[in-house]
């Protein structure tokens, strides 16, 4: 009787494990990202995703990341954007190699990061780049790109607090370009491996109607991710552009969330957005019906080593972002005008 009981128990445990792998029941994940209509949900509750860029995270020490994530939560951000294959400041911290195979240390770090975010209720945007890293890790072929998709999904199996951007700015007419047909194939791979994984493919600039239709009907993305123009007029146009997307999607018979994953930033063009521009852009996104918005940052193109001259070091370690003096005003004004509480960790002139 004892042996029979043990045998039945083993079969049950094996079947449960197999079911969890094939049906992705998320038994390990505390934070479950989903969609309801044109809105994101976390654990079935509607949320607006407030994001922040965290591109260099895979190169930061664990203790710094823990401090950064604590501060991110303190500022009421609930998602971060991370790249799978990233080269910055002459340092390659890619979690996949140029053939799409996992790079052990960095893929392990990515999994650890997703786990840490899962515990804290933070969503992770995980982005793949096609053909645009100068030092390799660029997924220059479809096979490499597909292999990278499989590598990431396999590594993050069991977590439901992340989504996948199949190809950053896939419409740009250089090495970054990925066709809609290839995107469709990549999405199908995603859904075969994890039917619940949310998938998008970001677009450089506003999305025209033909491309919008292809995103919805050919690729079948779960939400759209346009990277709006980085001009002085952009913030005043965001609300109307969002409504335009939502209205046009109704015409095509499928309406999905609008996620502003990578808006304008300082240091990119001659135009340097001010506090009012960021606030206007974020408020325009919300009032227009968007599902999320990112406080985007990046390197300064016109300074030595691409670093700002005046720094506001925020998120305790400085690994997250180098904040210029305008960021201090932004946070103080944002704090004054919102019920959410924000704080500045330290200021370094």
Ordered DSSP codes for 208-227: PHHHHHHIIIII--SSBEEE
**Overall average pLDDT of the 242-259 stretch:** 98
pLDDT for residue 111: 97
- pLDDT, residue 336, reads 47
pLDDT at 329 over 50: no
What is the predicted pLDDT for the residue at 13? Answer: 43
Q: Tell me what the mean pLDDT of segment 43-71 comes to.
A: 93
Paired tokens of 117: 């975010």
pTM above the 0.85 mark?
A: no
Q: Between 310 and 174, where is the model more confident?
A: 174
pLDDT at 51: 93
pLDDT tens across 130-174, in order? 987 665 568 999 999 999 999 999 999 999 999 999 999 999 988
Predicted local confidence at residue 15, as pLDDT = 42
Q: Which CATH superfamily is domain 33-308 in?
A: Glycosidases (3.20.20.80)
pLDDT tens for each residue of 119-129: 999 999 999 99
Q: With 80 as the cut, is the pLDDT of residue 207 above it? A: yes
Beta strands in the chain (DSSP E): 33-36, 39-42, 45-47, 49-53, 79-83, 87-88, 91-92, 123-127, 162-165, 198-200, 202-204, 225-227, 259-260, 292-295, 312-314, 321-323
């Amino acid at each position: 009787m004892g042996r029979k009981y043990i045998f039945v128990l083993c079969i049950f445990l094996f079947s449960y494990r197999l079911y969890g792998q094939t049906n992705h029941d998320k038994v390990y994940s505390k934070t479950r990202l989903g969609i309801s209509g044109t809105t994101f949900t976390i654990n079935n509750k509607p949320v607006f995703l407030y994001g922040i860029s965290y591109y260099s995270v895979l190169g930061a020490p664990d203790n710094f990341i823990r401090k950064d994530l604590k501060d991110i939560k303190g500022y009421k951000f609930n998602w971060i954007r991370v790249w799978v294959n990233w080269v910055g400041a002459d340092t390659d911290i890619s979690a996949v190699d140029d053939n799409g195979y996992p790079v052990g240390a960095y893929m392990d770090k990515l999994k650890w990061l997703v786990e840490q975010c899962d515990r804290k209720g933070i969503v992770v945007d995980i982005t793949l780049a096609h053909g645009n890293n100068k030092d390799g890790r660029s997924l220059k072929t479809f096979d490499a790109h597909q292999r990278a998709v499989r590598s990431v999904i396999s590594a993050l199996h069991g977590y439901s607090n992340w989504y996948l951007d199949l190809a950053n700015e896939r419409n740009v007419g250089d090495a970054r370009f990925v066709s809609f047909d290839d995107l469709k194939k990549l999405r199908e791979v995603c859904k075969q491996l994890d039917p619940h994984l949310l998938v998008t493919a970001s677009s450089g600039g506003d999305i025209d109607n033909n491309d919008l239709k292809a995103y919805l009907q050919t690729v079948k993305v779960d939400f759209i991710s346009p990277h709006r123009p980085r001009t002085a007029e952009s913030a005043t146009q965001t609300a109307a552009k969002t409504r335009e997307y939502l209205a046009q999607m109704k015409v095509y018979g499928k309406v999905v969330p609008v996620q502003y994953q990578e808006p304008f930033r300082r240091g990119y063009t001659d135009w340097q957005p001010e506090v009012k521009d960021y606030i206007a852009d974020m408020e325009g996104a919300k009032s227009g019906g968007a599902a999320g918005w990112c406080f985007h940052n990046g390197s300064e193109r016109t300074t030595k080593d691409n670093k700002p001259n005046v720094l506001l070091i925020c998120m305790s370690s400085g690994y997250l972002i180098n904040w210029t003096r305008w960021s201090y005003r932004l946070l103080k004004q944002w704090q004054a005008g919102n019920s959410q509480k924000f704080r500045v960790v330290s200021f370094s002139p």
